[in-house]
């Protein structure tokens, strides 16, 4: 059986840059579409990136899957959340029935939902939940490391395997969600270590807590970091000491998706911290990440900036679960429609000579609108 360390190393090594030639072809084709240059903005940037991932000019995303990693976090025992830990299991079960915010949206749009237990604390009888439990919840990081390094690696490996399974199933695009009471606390601890910023500045309210609880939450995170001393430059060490099994396995999904050349959507705060961990382990992987919405959590913008991404939507959402993924999928579908169905100037019988000056080498007034290109394959 392949070890977690070997699988992780092989996965990271197999992540390749985006295809420069395909992206250049997509950009040239977009210049022929019957519209002012770059007037479809981010939809064109998405179209170029999809071409860079697939190597094809025209793409579609017929099979969409949201992978939800579920785990309990021992830090919830320290009074940092308004919800009891039993909610993790209850909502995991409800997700399989299409009853949560994310799963209701996914059902409406025809997206697959895969609910995976990597660390739910309580026993259950729900065959629809995929049981990949590493352990029954983590430790409170106020009393030592949240988990062992081997457990963190196993969780990452599970995420990689889920992405590889998605590739084998013909999934076109993945979304990464979570369910785990206490995971805004673990995510903030991880983000604080990775960025060097104080928990005081980046800790948010999570699932709605009082001012007193927020102050306590900040103190808990600071104490946990001071006690465990996670290594900033070792994302696995950070996940092991102050993270969670949900975060670690989500990190694995992001890495596995990049390795398999599957575009993968970031949901909210927990999801983007997991994506940041993946990018610290493999910077090239971030070329395959697509944002969804602007989370209300305090640290979200910081993590987004670290990944050089801009969210597509601002709907004041902060649910988590993967709830932003069905919406982002629709935006990505729209980008494919532009590339596949919009007429060129020639097809529309429009003489585009009026654009010759812009195309003739002079700086275009719209040039600044073209989004920065991720690292490319030369």
pTM of the model: 0.94
User: 27 near 359, Cβ under 8 Å?
Assistant: no
Q: Given pLDDT bands bounded at 50, 70 and 90, which one contains residue 82?
A: confident
The pLDDT value recorded for residue 206 is 82
**Is pLDDT at 69 greater than 80 in this prediction?**
yes
Residue 44 has pLDDT above 50, yes or no: yes
pLDDT at 375 over 80: no
With pLDDT > 70 as the criterion, what percentage of the chain qualifies? 93
pLDDT in tens, 321-373: 999 999 999 999 999 999 999 999 999 999 988 887 776 654 454 544 454 44
Q: Which of 38, 178, 306, 321 is catalytic?
A: 321
Give the model's pLDDT for residue 1. 44
Report domain 4-60+336-377's class.
mainly alpha
The pLDDT of residue 373: 43
pLDDT value, residue 208: 73
pLDDT class of 90 with cuts at 50, 70, 90: very high
User: SS3 sequence, the chain?
Assistant: CCCHHHHHHHHHHHCCCEEHHHHHHHHHHHHCECCCCCCCCHHHHHHHHHHHHHCCCCCCCCCEEEEEEEECCHHHHHCCCCCCCHHHHHHHHHHHCCCCHHHHHHHHHCCEEEEEEEECCCCCCCCCCEECCCCCCCCCCCCCCCCCHHHHHHHHHHHHHHHHHHHHCCCCEEEEEEECCCHHHHHHHHHHHHHCCCHHHHCCCCCCCCHHHHHHHHHHHHHHHHHHCCCCCCHHHHHHHHCCHHHHHHHHHHHHHHHCCCCEEECCHHHHHHHHHHHHHCHHHHHHEECCECCCCCCHHHHHHHCCCCCCECCCCCCCCCCCHHHHHHHHHHHHHHHHHCCECCCCCCCCHHHHHHHCCCCCCCHHHCCCCCCEEC
- Amino acid 361: pLDDT: 53
Q: Any idea where the domains of the chain sit in the sequence? A: 4-60+336-377, 64-333
Per-residue pLDDT at 346: 94
Question: Is 290 a residue whose pLDDT tops 60?
Answer: yes
What per-residue confidence (pLDDT) applies to 293?
97
* pLDDT higher than threshold 60 for residue 3: no
**Does the active-site annotation cover 321?**
yes
Question: What's the topology of domain 64-333?
Answer: Rossmann fold (3.40.50)
pLDDT at res. 360: 64
pLDDT tens-place string over residues 109-118: 999 999 999 9
């Amino acid at each position: 059986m392949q070890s977690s360390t070997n699988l992780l190393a092989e996965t990271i090594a197999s992540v390749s840059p985006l295809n420069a030639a395909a992206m250049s072809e997509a950009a040239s084709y977009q210049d022929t579409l019957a519209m002012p240059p770059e007037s479809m903005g981010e939809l064109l940037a998405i179209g170029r990136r999809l071409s860079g991932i697939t190597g094809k000019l025209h793409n579609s995303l017929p099979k969409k899957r949201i992978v939800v990693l579920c785990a309990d976090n021992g830090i919830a025992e320290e009074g940092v959340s308004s919800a009891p830990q039993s909610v993790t299991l209850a909502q995991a079960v409800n997700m399989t029935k299409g009853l949560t915010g994310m799963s209701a949206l996914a059902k409406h749009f025809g997206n697959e939902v895969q609910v995976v237990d990597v660390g739910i604390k309580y026993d259950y009888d729900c065959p629809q939940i995929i049981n990949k439990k590493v352990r029954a919840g983590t430790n409170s990081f106020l009393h030592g490391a949240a988990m062992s390094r081997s457990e963190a690696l196993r969780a990452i490996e599970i995420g990689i395997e889920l992405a590889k399974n998605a590739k084998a199933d013909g999934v076109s695009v993945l979304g990464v969600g979570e369910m785990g009471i206490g995971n805004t606390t673990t995510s903030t601890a991880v983000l604080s270590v990775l960025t060097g910023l104080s928990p005081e500045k980046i800790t948010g309210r999570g699932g709605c807590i009082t001012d007193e609880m927020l102050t306590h939450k900040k103190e808990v995170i600071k104490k946990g970091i001071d006690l465990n001393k996670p290594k900033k430059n070792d994302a696995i060490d950070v996940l092991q000491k102050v993270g969670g099994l949900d975060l670690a396995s989500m990190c694995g999904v992001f890495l596995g998706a990049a390795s398999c050349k599957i575009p993968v959507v970031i949901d909210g705060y927990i999801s983007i911290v997991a994506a940041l961990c993946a990018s610290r382990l493999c910077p090239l992987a971030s070329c395959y990440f697509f944002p969804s919405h602007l989370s209300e959590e305090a640290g979200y913008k910081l993590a987004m900036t670290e990944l050089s991404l801009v969210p597509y939507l601002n709907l004041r959402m902060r649910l988590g679960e993967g709830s932003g993924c069905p919406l982002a999928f629709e935006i990505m579908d729209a980008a494919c429609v532009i590339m596949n169905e919009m007429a060129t100037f020639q097809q529309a019988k429009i003489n585009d000579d009026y654009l010759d000056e812009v195309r003739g080498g002079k700086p275009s007034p719209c040039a600044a609108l073209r989004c920065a290109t991720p690292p490319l394959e030369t």
